Chain A
Amino acid sequence: SQTIHQWPATLVQPVGSPLSLECTVEGTSNPNLYWYRQAAGRGLQLLFYSVGIGQISSEVPQNLSASRPQDRQFILSSKKLLLSDSGFYLCAASRGGEKLFFGSGTQLSVL
């Protein structure tokens, strides 16, 4: 079965600082990869998804970016964090859109 490794679990960053969140997948090859953000008590907002190495689709224009340098590696980045970037960031993988496996998430607080 698939395992999604996501770190760190919590992160506190000042406004204007850079961000890099990494996600790696085990147990499958050529997965679709996703980054979601969840505000407290809210739904999951799709930020980026990727169907292959170097292929990134952006759902929400903002100061975040994503990259997929390897088949099972997905990175979420920002050059300068905003207060509004705070939230629970979740990486997920799927082989066909039927079932998503999620990582344990990163709680990001921008102060």
Chain B
Amino acid sequence: GQSLEQPSEVTAVEGAIVQINCTYQTSGFYGLSWYQQHDGGAPTFLSYNALDGLEETGRFSSFLSRSDSYGYLLLQELQMKDSASYFCAVSRDDKIIFGKGTRLHILP
């Protein structure tokens, strides 16, 4: 089977940097992706890592280490609008399995 672990909540200050970690256990791993979900809305895609290393997209970066079955999402220059839930997800064959999500609280 597959399992993903990520912290349930993280708190950070506006303008700061925050890292959300994700560890996974799965066979036939293809890639790790990240999604953002605001309250009442649908998840939206942020990033995808198939290979080891860092992928940068504006204020957001995502990292993957396949040997450690570990990845993280890095959010820089935090803004109040970044308050949301963040999900990591693993792709295996045609299945995409999500973690339970990390609620990001941002303090002014």
Residues of chain A at the chain B interface (Cβ within 8 Å): 32, 34, 36, 42-46, 49, 51, 57, 59, 90, 92, 94, 97-105
Contacts and interface: CB of A to CB of B under 8 A. Distances in A.
B7 interface: no
Contact of B45 (A42, A57, A99): A99
Interface string B59-103: 000000000000000000000000000010101011111111100
Contacts of B44: 102
A99 B99 CA distance: 15
B62 to A, nearest CB: 12
16 contacts: A42-B100, A43-B101, A46-B97, A51-B94, A92-B96, A97-B30, A97-B91, A98-B48, A98-B50, A99-B33, A100-B33, A100-B45, A100-B89, A102-B44, A103-B42, A105-B42
A42 B101 contact: yes
Interface residues on B, range: 20 to 34
Contacts of B96: 34, 46, 49, 92, 94, 97, 100
Interface in B33-56: 33, 35, 41-45, 48, 50
Contacts of B45: 99-101
Nearest to A34: B96
B16 to A, nearest CB: 25
Contact of B94 (A32, A90, A101): A32
B35 to A, nearest CB: 7
Nearest to A103: B42
Contact of B43 (A45, A59, A98, A100): A100
